[in-house]
Structure 1
Amino acid sequence: MREFSLPALYEVPADGNLTDLIRRNARQDPHRTVIARKRDDAWVDVTAGEFLAEVNEVAKGLIASGVRAGDRVALMSRTRYEWTLLDFAIWSAGAVTVPVYETSSPEQIAWILGDSQAVAAVVETEAHREAVESVRDRLPELNDLWCLDGQPAAVKELAAAGADIDDATVNRRASTARADDPATLVYTSGTTGRPKGCVLTHRSFFAECGNVVERLKPMFGDENGSVLLFLPVAHVLGRLVQVAAVMAPIRLGHVSDVKALTDELASFRPTMVLGVPRVFEKVFNSARAQARSNGRGRVFDWAADCAIAYSRALDSAEGPSAGLRWRHRLFDRLVFRKLRAVLGGRVTHAISGGAPLGERLGHFYRGVGLVVLEGYGLTESCAATAFNPYDRPKIGTVGQPLPGSVVRIADDGEVLLYGEHLFTGYWNNQQATEEAMADGWFHTGDLGELDEDGYLRITGRKKEILVTAGGKNVAPAVIEDRMRAHPLVAECMVVGDGRPFVAALLTVDDEFLPRWAGDHGKRGLSRAELLADADLLASLQQAVDEGNKAVSRAESVRKFAVLDTQFTEESGHITPSLKLKRGVVTKDFAEQIEALYR
């Protein structure tokens, strides 16, 4: 058994709640910009004083509508300014926010609102309203339903409803929640079974965000700093950045449509971004494909190799050689500056979570001039429970423990966590809570290793370990992460439990497929013809070969099948946080899996 900890850098308040942050900001500098919102295709700054005033208006409406201290209020929307506004307004009414992914089905909505006993809900669109109404007969506690894009719009409707509530009333209500009271119930993605509501307290967020802000001080302490949030705020990682930005404070922006991300990055010009590995893979693959289509593919590949070599050399005692430094300066003028410009031109650091980034990609971005700080966490740990420090990142790991917390590796390799940032239990599910917690330690279900400096490396999931017929233990994530980095691969899943060898199911990236077809003289072929094309299968074999480099021969993928569909949230094969529902995939594609072993 091995463990590692770092001393806390932030003193968690003995009491109080997250609304103290926006009141502090307004009191200390009411004219400071804390948020920017999009209006008529332009970014409009919102000062600390303006934000507090609007939060209070909406909170008054919630109070006037009958929301009491401790009540649960559901919030279902894409990432937008109103999400953050409603979150703090719900807290200012003394209530508890229950996030719901905007892609959730009526069945999922019914479960989350019913299990949390939500008394009110704010949704984004009329389609969301209809989804809630379709299951309203199963939600006896639900009294009010507002729509952000409705007529009237939810924010205006709530502000009008609370017109007769005075400031003293909302101030008293805002101070009712104590540090150990629930701030939010975040329902796990549910890769197996019903999602469980993780109870995260105000203390959890103070401990989490306070120590993140202090440990990443140059990123969060710059008065000109800004972060553009495009991940779902319904996910705990997006929520971490939202609260940390307000705590710092730095300028916070929201992007609802990821397809418009490039344009929004150029106009907002953040100093920091938050993403998942798939975002960073897409940026790399798109840049490489664009270079090839312009006849500069070889130059891009040389530049990428230079960036990776330069980053690796930074970790050596000698550092980059004179020749490598010269090549790096050359490619900075030719390639790297253009890549940084795509991200707005000011970004120096990014935070990546949700899945492993991959060592090669991490070195590429650092070599380009964008340090991607990979971290690790779960809903139960209020997002990041480990992350790479800005001044000593160790690429290939998920960093050191959150200051003030402890990471322990059990005798069987499981990662155990301890600290104030942890959840207090699963809502209305004592049995699940007791299974996950023991003597204050949270059992993550992940397998990992700690090195001599306390950097954590995640090696797999206990429940996802495959055991082949020959008795070989295989951690799927190691191979899958490598294969998924290939531009043609959208998703992949390794199979082989109880089988004579390891195999894989692959889906093809429909965005990249037409570009591949054009580059290989196959533009006129249909999608079905392309999926059966020998050259495409050979390209996918390269992705499999790359994945196999990370494991022994006994663990390597011997055969693969290309599926004619996609793993999506709508199909039920992945969660909103992009995790594979392995049991569902195994069941739905049982015939294809059997065919691999005939």
Structure 2
Amino acid sequence: MSLNLINKTSGKSYYKVPRINTLKEMLEFCQERYSEEIAFKYRNKPRSEVICKTYTEFANDTRALGSALHDLGLKGCHIAIIGENRYEWVVSYLATVNGIGVAVPLDKMLPENEIITMLDRGDVDVLIYSSSFQQIVEHITQGNTNLKAVICMNPEKDEDIERDGFYSFHDLLSHGYELLDSGYKKYIDTVIDSNILSVLIFTSGTSASSKAVMLSHKNICTDIMGLGGVVSFKPGDSVVSILPLSHTFENTTGLLFPLFLGITICISDGLKYFPQNLTEYKPKCLIGVPLIFDKFKERIWAEVKKKGMEKKVRIIMSLANLLSHFGINLKRKLFKQLLEPFGGDLCAIVTGGAPMEVDTIRFYEGIGIRVYQGYGLTETSPVVAGGNDFVRKTGTCGNPLPGVTVAVDNPDFKGVGEIVVKGDSVMLGYWKNQEATDEAIVDGWFHTGDLGRIDRKGLIKVTGRAKSMIVLNNGKKVFPEELENYINKIPYVKESLVWGEAVNNGNVDICAKIILDKENITEAIKCPEDESAIKRLLDKAIKDVNKLMPVYKTIRYYVYSYEELIKTTSMKIKRYVETAEIRSLFGKLATSIKKTTGRNIDRLKEMLAKRAETF
């Protein structure tokens, strides 16, 4: 594969950053610099007492668990970790990578059959799990003879671990402290090779289609230091951890990077308790996918509208933005009440996984919260680029991080091509898949599969995924994300999915599945079940969207639904699962998107279910 690169750009550092070669060095650095600062705040169960751990206590817990695992003879093992975000998860992860073997974080949303497959694919020897997986783990161990040890982070009953090969996390922790007190040093004296496999992370997708990304200490530490070169927080500032720690975005930006800066990580009790956690922990920074921040914005605007203050707030926001151009920043004082749902101290949000709507960015910036839109992939440890303390431009993913070089490969006449990345944060490769590795990394450049362009200031704009791009019969290319952004701006629309469908003699037409907000749509029509009224409403809305597009991007057919789109746990739409389900439904009903355009697809599913009952 030959490269045709343009607009090559590298990141620069704005802050002096301590050098770390391994996560073990980082932990030692954190203990020395932030020893008595609070590293973690968490609860064992919702509504229970908050537990605090200092950086020294955390470092000692990690060494104690590592010593116990070493004493069990688990050196060199692949250790899978599955469960909700909790302190024991973090200790298990760092104890593994800092002297035992390879950590294999698993998505807590995986069904049992996929957990089994990934344990096999990842050559897993040890499984560390939370008690919510007790039954699944018991079933897995009946048929898995490869597991040398199974460790429960929080056993609810003694009998849960009273069987061969099962252990309690806290029993091992106590044993580890006894070993350290007796002078056991085999674990803490381990020398880490920063260049070899340390973490194995499966990408989103089914167990059959997902790839296992191999990351080293060098990969991850490069990304941590890169982030430290462009974003600064003070030791003692706090962040609330809500995204799954098994995902590399949360793992690096929501866990390891905050630890590097001496930030207090407050582990959320779960989505249900997230608003309460914000008001009690009062974070300075939040890390999340755009959907989380969209929900908060909608809730705040709903309250503003309810009080009849929308026009007034918008006017004040415009004036505050104008004053900020003259160095007068009154936003946080003027919008103190709007900041209260976040705890009152929130200064910055870091978002990734998907582009944030421009309106959402402007809302948060307008009330005094900095928005850092990031871009990255599991294969790049993960952050490639992002807005920083000095450069943030709405609608872009900012500049590359220090140590990262980005370019556009094989561009079209508009300068749009595949985004490629080079640097020490690029993965070692795909586990047991040399063919995929060779395809992804060419001459040191990692091919992201994302399309975009880079402007003269080195700011990156992602326009879409190469795999989701719709290629029409005339060769024209359409990015679904562009059309989805317009559809999603319709007031009563929650989200949407756009895809290409071969419908007329093989011609590819653009189609959409529109997810409606049942509450908001009642502002436009009397009854949310009135299909005729909804069709008239959506016909006009789609017509208005089409007016904004060149003719070849016209949305021809659509269906609507009230059920949310299928997503990964990082809130990305599973496009191929969705479109496969739609095609399967139409096939079973002997119909097509053309014949059912404007219909409620939920009703079509009900129709199919009734047919099945009849037979």
TM exceeding 0.5: yes
Q: Quick one: which amino acid aligns to residue 186 of structure 1?
A: I
TM-score normalised to structure 2 length: 0.84
Residue 603 of structure 2: aligned partner: none
> Of the candidates 507, 523, 548, which is equivalent to residue 515 of structure 2?
507
Residue 593 of structure 2: aligned partner: 596
Residue 601 of structure 2: aligned partner: none
Q: Is the 8 A contact 1:237 1:383 kept in 2?
A: yes
Residue 204 of structure 2: aligned partner: 189
Q: State the SS of the aligned residue for 2:93.
A: helix
Q: Quick one: which amino acid aligns to residue 169 of structure 2?
A: V
Tell me, in whole angstroms, the C-alpha distance in 1 between the residues paired with 2:539 and 2:247: 34
After TM superposition, the structure 1 stretch with the greater mean CA deviation from structure 2, 43-52 or 32-41, is 32-41
Tell me, in whole angstroms, the C-alpha distance in 2 between the residues paired with 1:10 and 1:382: 21
Provide closer, same or farther for how the CA distance between residues 521 and 289 of structure 1 changes in structure 2, counting only shifts above 3 A: farther
Point out the structure with max Rg over C-alpha. 2
Q: Quick one: which amino acid aligns to residue 303 of structure 1?
A: V
Alignment of 1:437-452 (within 5 A): 437-452=441-456
Alignment of 1:257-406 (within 5 A): 257-292=270-305, 294-296=306-308, 299-304=309-314, 307=317, 311=321, 319=325, 336-406=335-405
Residue 563 of structure 1: aligned partner: 561
Shift in Å at residue 352 of structure 1?
0.6
Q: Is the 8 A contact 1:275 1:352 kept in 2?
A: yes
Provide closer, same or farther for how the CA distance between residues 580 and 191 of structure 1 changes in structure 2, counting only shifts above 3 A: farther
Q: Quick one: which amino acid aligns to residue 150 of structure 2?
A: L
Tell me, in whole angstroms, the C-alpha distance in 2 between the residues paired with 1:254 and 1:161: 26
1:76 counterpart = 2:52: no
Q: Is the 8 A contact 1:276 1:354 kept in 2?
A: yes
Q: State the SS of the aligned residue for 1:35.
A: strand
Provide closer, same or farther for how the CA distance between residues 500 and 47 of structure 1 changes in structure 2, counting only shifts above 3 A: closer
Report how many aligned residue pairs link the two structures.
563
Q: Which consecutive residues of structure 1, in runs of 5 or more, have no partner in the other structure?
A: 569-573
> Of the candidates 116, 124, 142, which is equivalent to residue 110 of structure 1?
116
Residue 205 of structure 1: aligned partner: 220
Tell me, in whole angstroms, the C-alpha distance in 2 between the residues paired with 1:376 and 1:549: 31
Q: Which consecutive residues of structure 2, in runs of 5 or more, have no partner in the other structure?
A: 1-5, 159-166, 412-416, 596-615
Q: Quick one: which amino acid aligns to residue 582 of structure 1?
A: R
Residue 262 of structure 2: aligned partner: 249
Residue 432 of structure 2: aligned partner: 428
Q: Quick one: which amino acid aligns to residue 558 of structure 2?
A: F
Q: Is the 8 A contact 1:225 1:271 kept in 2?
A: yes
Shift in Å at residue 79 of structure 1?
1.7
Note the aligned Cα RMSD (angstroms): 3.0
Tell me, in whole angstroms, the C-alpha distance in 2 between the residues paired with 1:191 and 1:355: 20
> Of the candidates 454, 467, 485, which is equivalent to residue 458 of structure 2?
454
Q: Is the 8 A contact 1:501 1:558 kept in 2?
A: yes
Q: Quick one: which amino acid aligns to residue 576 of structure 2?
A: G
Q: Quick one: which amino acid aligns to residue 455 of structure 1?
A: L
Shift in Å at residue 136 of structure 1?
3.7
1:147 counterpart = 2:157: no
Shift in Å at residue 274 of structure 1?
0.4
1:228 counterpart = 2:240: yes
After TM superposition, the structure 1 stretch with the greater mean CA deviation from structure 2, 345-354 or 463-472, is 463-472
Tell me, in whole angstroms, the C-alpha distance in 2 between the residues paired with 1:545 and 1:228: 42
Shift in Å at residue 419 of structure 1?
0.4
Residue 581 of structure 1: aligned partner: 574
Provide closer, same or farther for how the CA distance between residues 363 and 12 of structure 1 changes in structure 2, counting only shifts above 3 A: same
Q: Percent identity?
A: 24
Residue 43 of structure 2: aligned partner: 38
Provide closer, same or farther for how the CA distance between residues 118 and 596 of structure 1 changes in structure 2, counting only shifts above 3 A: same
Q: Quick one: which amino acid aligns to residue 10 of structure 2?
A: S
Residue 24 of structure 1: aligned partner: 29
Q: State the SS of the aligned residue for 2:393.
A: coil
Provide closer, same or farther for how the CA distance between residues 565 and 426 of structure 1 changes in structure 2, counting only shifts above 3 A: same
1:158 counterpart = 2:172: yes
Q: Which ranges of 4 or more aligned residues in structure 1 deviate by more than 6 Å?
A: 9-12, 331-334
Shift in Å at residue 314 of structure 1?
8.3
Shift in Å at residue 155 of structure 1?
2.5
TM-score normalised to structure 1 length: 0.86
Q: State the SS of the aligned residue for 2:43.
A: strand
After TM superposition, the structure 1 stretch with the greater mean CA deviation from structure 2, 485-494 or 206-215, is 485-494
Residue 571 of structure 1: aligned partner: none
| Residues 241-293 of structure 1: per-residue CA shift (max 9 Å, x gap) | 2001111111111114112111100000011110111011111111222333x
Q: Is the 8 A contact 1:59 1:89 kept in 2?
A: yes
Q: State the SS of the aligned residue for 2:279.
A: helix
Q: Is the 8 A contact 1:77 1:123 kept in 2?
A: yes
Tell me, in whole angstroms, the C-alpha distance in 2 between the residues paired with 1:257 and 1:310: 35
